[in-house]
Amino acid sequence: MRISSEPATTEAPLGPLDPPPATKDTDVKSAGRRALVVGASSGIGAALVRRLAAEGYRVAVLARRVDKLDSLARECQPLPGKVVVRVHDVCDVGDVPKVFEELVRELGGLDFYIFAAGIMPNVGRHEYDTEKDLAMLRINLDGCIAWSNPVANYFRTQRSGTIIGISSVAGERGRKGSPVYGTSKAAMNHYLEALRNRLAEADVHVCTIKPGYVATAMTEGMGLSDMITADEAAKQILEAARDRVNHRYVPMKWRLIMAVVRSIPSFLFRRLNI
Ligand SMILES: NC(=O)c1ccc[n+]([C@@H]2O[C@H](COP(=O)([O-])OP(=O)(O)OC[C@H]3O[C@@H](n4cnc5c(N)ncnc54)[C@H](OP(=O)(O)O)[C@@H]3O)[C@@H](O)[C@H]2O)c1
């Protein structure tokens, strides 16, 4: 069975959960497609689920808050797709292969996977809290790797599939306001790029999304202006996947903003309150 995170270097005989025959049809709009969204209970992940369900996807939705997942599933009931709820904490990395296998079985395969789980706790100006920092890495980075590895191996043997990682513009400079959040996103960018390069020969696409400011629970009360809605972000994320771009800023104006931010010399950047 090749759905688990077994080493990717040897070929094994096909088992009952092996992917269906390869297809070149990677159009994410196709009805009857199967998707899995980790971090689906609110914000960008939930908005992606609504859009995928509206397009006729069978979507497995994972997060810790069962009430939010259940109400999302109820909300999607009139839509053509189907939502499968699974309560899961991405910190339970040992459970991932089994949960993944069960969900792929329930969905009848997998074509589309999104890792949207993440936290960004407030970090005080003079706070250096290792426990808090490592807890963030366990969700944002370890969780992403623990989920993306088995998906990558499954898509590799299937020779099709789309992987989307929701990173952030925060991964591009070492901002004093959020050292470890930015670290988790920078590492995610690196990991996703490597996955993209590994999987290219199998025709599996890996898309890194770098959102700017999106109005979700994560940004609530932060006093940010000019935010886009989670639904608008979801729309642009799906467009990026359809365009098969390697990475995309969402909204796209952040491409220009980040080009400027990256060009600020260190001696000036450290004086900025960002
Ligand atoms: N909003 C922005 O402006 C912005 C900007 C750049 C990047 N991002 C990124 O976008 C992604 C989505 O964030 P959002 O803005 O949509 O915020 P959000 O509404 O707070 O959503 C975060 C999601 O992550 C899930 N999650 C957190 N910890 C988890 C865990 N241990 N196990 C499983 N799921 C977990 C949450 O579900 P439960 O709490 O139910 O587990 C929730 O579904 C994050 O990776 C974030 O870093 C957001």
Ligand 1 pocket, mutate which of 38, 64, 67, 83 (most atoms under 8 A from CB): 64
Q: Is the pLDDT of residue 9 over 80?
A: no
Higher pLDDT, 10 or 170: 170
* Mean pLDDT computed over 71-89: 97
Q: What is the residue with the minimal CA distance to atom 1 of ligand 1? A: 214
Of the candidate ranges 30-34, 138-142, 265-269, the one whose mean pLDDT is the lowest: 30-34
Centroid of ligand 1 to alpha carbon of 157 (angstroms): 29
* Segment 193-212, tens digit of pLDDT: 999 999 999 999 999 999 99
Banded pLDDT at 273 (limits 50, 70, 90):
confident
CB 58 within 8 A of CB 111: no
Ligand 1 pocket, mutate which of 210, 213, 216, 232 (most atoms under 8 A from CB): 216
Residue 211, ligand 1, Cβ within 6 A: yes
Q: Is the pLDDT of residue 24 over 70?
A: no
DSSP state at residue 36: E
Q: What domains appear along the chain, each with residue ranges and CATH number?
A: 34-269 (3.40.50.720)
Rounded to whole angstroms, the maximal C-alpha distance in the chain is: 58
* Mean pLDDT computed over 228-237: 98
pLDDT at 4: 41
* Segment 138-147, tens digit of pLDDT: 999 999 999 9
pLDDT at 162: 97
Beta bridge partners of residue 37, listed in sequence order? 61, 114
Of the candidate ranges 3-7, 149-153, 261-265, the one whose mean pLDDT is the lowest: 3-7
CB 10 within 8 A of CB 4: no
Of the candidate ranges 21-35, 58-72, 112-126, 194-208, the one whose mean pLDDT is the lowest: 21-35
**Whole-number Å distance between alpha carbons of 147 and 246:** 19
Banded pLDDT at 274 (limits 50, 70, 90):
confident
Banded pLDDT at 51 (limits 50, 70, 90):
very high
CB 152 within 8 A of CB 195: yes
Percent of the residues in the chain that have a pLDDT greater than 70, as a whole number: 88
Beta bridge partners of residue 112, listed in sequence order? 35, 162
Centroid of ligand 1 to alpha carbon of 166 (angstroms): 9
Q: Is the pLDDT of residue 266 over 50?
A: yes
* Helix 43-54 and helix 230-243, axial crossing angle in degrees, nearest 10: 60
Q: Is the pLDDT of residue 3 over 60?
A: no
Q: What is the mean pLDDT of the chain?
A: 90
**Whole-number Å distance between alpha carbons of 119 and 64:** 12
Written as one letter, the residue type at 196 is: R
Written as one letter, the residue type at 60 is: A
pLDDT at 20: 47
Banded pLDDT at 257 (limits 50, 70, 90):
very high
Centroid of ligand 1 to alpha carbon of 14 (angstroms): 35
Q: What secondary structure does DSSP assign to 16-84, as a single string?
A: TTSPPSP-S---TT-TT-EEEEES-SSHHHHHHHHHHHHTT-EEEEEES-HHHHHHHHHHHTTSSSEEE
Indicate the pTM of the whole model.
Answer: 0.91
CB 114 within 8 A of CB 61: no
* Mean pLDDT computed over 69-92: 98
pLDDT at 30: 45
Q: What is the residue with the minimal CA distance to atom 44 of ligand 1? A: 118
